Chain A
Amino acid sequence: MAETPPARSLEIGRAVLVPTLTQRLAEAPARKVADTSLGKPNGADDAARRCTRIFQTSAEGSLVGSMDAIILQILNGLDKGGAYALIALGLTLIFGTLGVVNFAHGALFMLGAFCAVTFSRLLTISERVRDESVTFFEAYKEIPYLTLWYGDTGQAIVDWAVPLSILLAIPVMVLIGFAMERGLIRFFYKRSHAEQILVTFGLAIVLQEIVKYFFGANPIPMTAPPALAGSADIGALVGASNISYPMWRIVYFLFSLAVISMVFAFLQLTTFGMVVRAGMADRETVGLLGINIGRKFTIVFGIASAVAGLAGVMYTPILAPNYHLGMDFLVLSFVVVVVGGMGSLPGAVLAGFLLGILQSLASMTEIKSIVPGIDQIIIYLVAVVVLLVRPRGLMGRRGVMEA
């Protein structure tokens, strides 16, 4: 495992999807540099160059080819956008209900990812057994207890560790959310936004250092279940020819859609959600009606934390989690929230997908050859333009965070 080049271990479906790999590898330097302990720069660069060359030769073909590439990049944007949308949704929920700017939200995403790591490690607690297939000398291999005890069922559980860890992640993340709100953030409602930012920023550093202490600084690769690890031919669906795309990324996109609709359904269709929405609009009045709005908001914080955690759990097979994963996503998610409009839930989701797709499109080789480096800054450029043209963001309302 240790010998595999970092770029490979980070990605699934690499053989089928050269453009994706190219794009991901283009991001590799930043990631790699941020984590110096990875220490294999040349391998990744070489791979990137090789892949770019392959992609260029294959893209020189025809117009159909470039159409395919665009569709592929849009798909790429969808799963990344899903992650942005989920984090931004949680941020907006917390901001809308409690009025707190949570800089530790990226850390919650990272904690979710490490829930998956912990869960799959728990499942694969192994025993050393004699390897019977080797007869020349005494060889041992590690077999998870689950496989020893339950045979194929156990092996299936081990294989499906990542989706199953949702079961662990939801209660853990909700509890972490409760603890954060009751233990720390509660005391900061009356204080300035600057102090809220600072204290949650400190918390984010602490959380990420704790994770680093227990899991080390290197990214920990996770695998998708074998049934979903391959690639699917989705060309038939969109009427184009022969586009194969990693199945897990499609799963991630659908998963994020499902979580987003669940959150919206919860807020729109249940009595609880109605009270929360009323509290978002006018906290004081709801309190005067005899409803303990503070407790409801604590639960909302737990939900927001679970949403970020789930986004992290399911993202592990796409990007191997390391301890500063959260901060990388946090900055972008904040930009997403600002572009969508502070306090607007649909705005956060819309902006999440929009910026995800834009970022993917900007990392196409054709576009990068026109404007070099555009993929690195497109999101920030869009944010600047949106803020200059529509200062409240795409779907921001009047009166929210005007000061």
Chain B
Amino acid sequence: MSESVMTRDKNMSKGMGRSPAESHAPKGEGLRGFMSSSRSDYLLLAIFALAILTMPIWLAPIGAGYPDILQKFAIFGIFALGFNILFGFSGYLSFGHAAFLGTGSYAAVWMFKLLSMNALIALIFAIAVAGVFALLIGYVSLRRSGIYFSILTLAFAQMSYNLAYSVLTPITNGETGLQVSGSDPRILDHMFGSPSGRGTPDFFGMELQGWPGFYFCAILLILAFFLTMRIRNSTFGLMLFAIKSNQNRMNYTGFATRPYLLAAFVISGMYAGLAGGLLAVTDPLAGADRMQWTASGEVVLMTILGGVGTLLGPVIGAAVMKYLEQIFSSFNEGFLHRAFDFLPSGLQDFMVTIVSPFVGEGWHLTLGLMFMLVVIFLPGGIMEGLRRVSGRFKGDRGAADTAAHAGH
């Protein structure tokens, strides 16, 4: 057991996600990896935190240096991190995670309406409600595995979506969506004599719009990242990896795998609830379309795009996807004509005709194609791509060594 921990940590220190069964490192090397692992973990965390907090500076040149989109990066990063705890660590593909995102949003908006506009209360409640909801759904869905599990979670998500639109209208306000209004009770706000009638959430008086909003989300993202790292390094995380590599063997060895899976499911549901709550904090409005299967598919794509089972991958995937969505859906024909301005006019029209179905309204077409291309050619996502590139450099040196040995 301890050997696998070490091997995995060694892999981790490179930032790669490989299940223990895949790597066969010699013990001494593993030990060295283990000794340095906690330090390199904190180094990774520090670099990550620095990168996230300085995003406004280094993302400005590509036109993403404004709070709205950075907030989205952070929120969907949390969502994908949580999804990765389930899918990446244990291999269980849930197709209904958007249900927890939606539940989190509804829960947060209800707290804004009933108790207080303070984001902290709303987020805690959102996490709790999404956790309970995930416990219920996970308890039933996890009785099966493989595609049964995927289909069951998809069915539950669609069920929640349908209910949110129809019967649960008193709670969800149907298709209009749940909103805060001036006439809400807001018991705590009134009790403490806070100014009533504010339409925007705050964090103990700090308005969460614009830059403060981004930093609020970013700090939560860093906390979520830290927690994911701890989960990954724990025995619990190791259990999940073992379930992924061979669940039968786990069962035969006498481990009850389901409690671990259920715990992972609930934790990832809570992450989704937090993300949903944050969506409500940045814009106090919750609609059922957040629960639709397209939203579930989106988080799967983010995770895959970044790299399933890796620590950094999901966050990168979420950011890349939200960024592409932002730029692709904002293009229109006029913009394309300007973009292809350098071409002769016949060719320019031709290019515009070719490209225009993929942008603006047609952004989903690009999304679908991207989905397919990533799954077909790069199942390990961006992290896999990075490793291949770095492997190419190292591989050249290795190949040269081998050649030298062969020459002797």
Contact = CB atoms under 8 A, between A and B. Distances in A.
A373 interface: yes
A101 interface: yes
Given A209-B362, A334-B155, A391-B143, A198 B166 contact: no
Interface in A12-61: 29-30, 33-34, 41
Contacts of A150: none
Interface residues of B, number: 48
A337 B151 CA distance: 10
Interface string B272-289: 000000000000000011
Interface stretch (B224-232, B364-372, B384-392): B364-372
Contact of A195 (B140, B162, B375): B375
B166 A194 contact: no
Interface in B122-147: 140, 143-147
Interface in A378-403: 379-380, 383-384, 387-388, 391, 401, 403
Interface in A212-232: 213
Given A101-B147, A213-B365, A387-B152, A377 B159 contact: yes
A384 B140 contact: yes
Given A202-B369, A213-B362, A327-B293, A373 B166 contact: yes
Contacts of B367: 205
18 contacts: A41-B175, A194-B91, A198-B371, A198-B375, A199-B375, A202-B369, A205-B297, A205-B364, A205-B367, A206-B372, A209-B365, A334-B154, A334-B155, A376-B163, A376-B166, A377-B163, A384-B152, A401-B147
User: Interface size class for chain A?
Assistant: 35 or more
B236 interface: no
A202 B143 contact: no
B206 interface: no
B368 A403 contact: no
Interface in A288-338: 327, 331, 334-335, 337-338
Contact of A334 (B151, B159, B289): B151
Given A209-B362, A213-B365, 17 more contacts: A30-B166, A33-B165, A187-B376, A193-B147, A194-B87, A198-B371, A199-B372, A201-B297, A202-B375, A209-B365, A334-B155, A380-B159, A383-B155, A384-B152, A387-B152, A391-B143, A401-B148
Interface of A: 29-30, 33-34, 41, 101, 184, 187, 191, 193-195, 197-199, 201-206, 209-210, 213, 327, 331, 334-335, 337-338, 342, 372-373, 376-377, 379-380, 383-384, 387-388, 391, 401, 403
Nearest to A378: B159
A123 B158 CA distance: 38
A331 B372 contact: no
Which of B91, B140, B159 has the most chain A CB within a 10 Å cutoff?
B159
Residue in A101, A184, A199 whose Cβ sees the most chain B Cβ within 10 Å: A199
Given A187-B376, A202-B371, A377-B162, A338 B148 contact: yes
Contacts of B247: 403
A198 B300 contact: yes
B301 to A, nearest CB: 8
Interface of B: 87, 91, 93, 95, 140, 143-148, 150-152, 154-156, 158-159, 162-163, 165-168, 175, 247-248, 288-289, 292-293, 297, 300, 304, 357, 362, 364-365, 367-372, 375-376, 379
A36 B253 CA distance: 53
Contacts of B87: 194
Given A205-B367, A373-B163, A380 B158 contact: yes
B182 to A, nearest CB: 26
A194 B309 CA distance: 14
Q: Which 7 A-B pairs have the closest CB atoms?
A: A373-B167, A205-B368, A202-B371, A202-B372, A209-B365, A206-B368, A376-B162
Contacts of A199: 371-372, 375-376
B147 A376 contact: no
Contacts of B150: 193-194, 197
Given A383-B152, A391-B143, A30 B365 contact: no
A338 B147 CA distance: 10
A401 B148 CA distance: 9
